[in-house]
Structure 1
Amino acid sequence: MTPSTGKDLKTGNGEQPQRAWRPLWANVVAAGVILCAAAAALIYLDRLYPVGLGPRQPIPFSHRVHAGIKHISCFMCHDSVTRSSRAGIPPLQTCLLCHARIIRTYPYIARLREQAARNQPVVWQRVNWLPEFVYFDHSMHLRRGVDCSHCHGDVRQMDRVAGAVKFEMGFCIQCHRDNRVTHDCFVCHR
Structure 2
Amino acid sequence: MSPSSEEKNMKKWKTPLWAAFAAALVVLLSGVAALIYLDELYPVGLGPRQPIPFSHRVHAGVKTISCFMCHSEAPRSSRAGIPPLETCLLCHSRIIRTYPYIARLRGDAALNRPVIWERVNWLPEFVYFDHSMHIQRGIDCGHCHGDVSRMDRVVKARKFQMGFCIQCHRYNRATHDCYTCHR
Asked if Structure 1 and Structure 2 have the same fold, meaning a TM-score greater than 0.5 normalized by the shorter chain, the answer is: yes
Equivalent position amino acid for 1:27 in 2: F
Cα distance in 2, alignment partners of residues 82 and 131 from structure 1: 22
Are 1:163 and 2:156 matched, yes or no?
yes
Within 5 A, what are the aligned runs for 1:75-86?
A: 75-86=68-79
> 1:89 maps to what in 2?
82
Aligned length in residues? 166
Bigger CA radius of gyration: 1
> 1:9 maps to what in 2?
none
> 2:33 maps to what in 1?
39
Cα distance in 2, alignment partners of residues 104 and 179 from structure 1: 45
> 1:28 maps to what in 2?
22
Are 1:99 and 2:92 matched, yes or no?
yes
Within 5 A, what are the aligned runs for 1:41-120?
A: 41-45=35-39, 52-120=45-113
Question: Deviations 1:81-110 (Å, cap 9, x if unpaired)?
Answer: 000000010000000000001111100000
Q: Secondary structure at the match of 1:40?
A: helix
Task: Return the offset for 1:153.
Answer: 0.3
Give 5+ residue unaligned stretches, structure 1.
Answer: 1-20
Task: Return the offset for 1:151.
Answer: 0.4
Task: Return the offset for 1:39.
Answer: 2.3
Equivalent position amino acid for 1:54 in 2: G
Please identify, of 92-101 and 179-188, the stretch whose mean Cα deviation from structure 2 is larger.
179-188
Cα distance in 2, alignment partners of residues 181 and 61 from structure 1: 35
Question: Deviations 1:84-139 (Å, cap 9, x if unpaired)?
Answer: 00001000000000000111110000000000011010000000010111000000
Task: Return the offset for 1:36.
Answer: 1.5
- Of 126, 129, 133, the residue aligned with 2:126 is 133
Question: Deviations 1:130-156 (Å, cap 9, x if unpaired)?
Answer: 011100000000011100000000000
Question: Deviations 1:29-88 (Å, cap 9, x if unpaired)?
Answer: 322211221222234455xx8x82100000000000001000111111111100000001
> 2:5 maps to what in 1?
none
Cα distance in 1, alignment partners of residues 17 and 143 from structure 2: 57
Stretches of 4+ aligned residues off by more than 4 angstroms: none
Please provide the CA RMSD for this pair: 1.6
Equivalent position amino acid for 1:147 in 2: D
Give 5+ residue unaligned stretches, structure 2.
Answer: 1-15
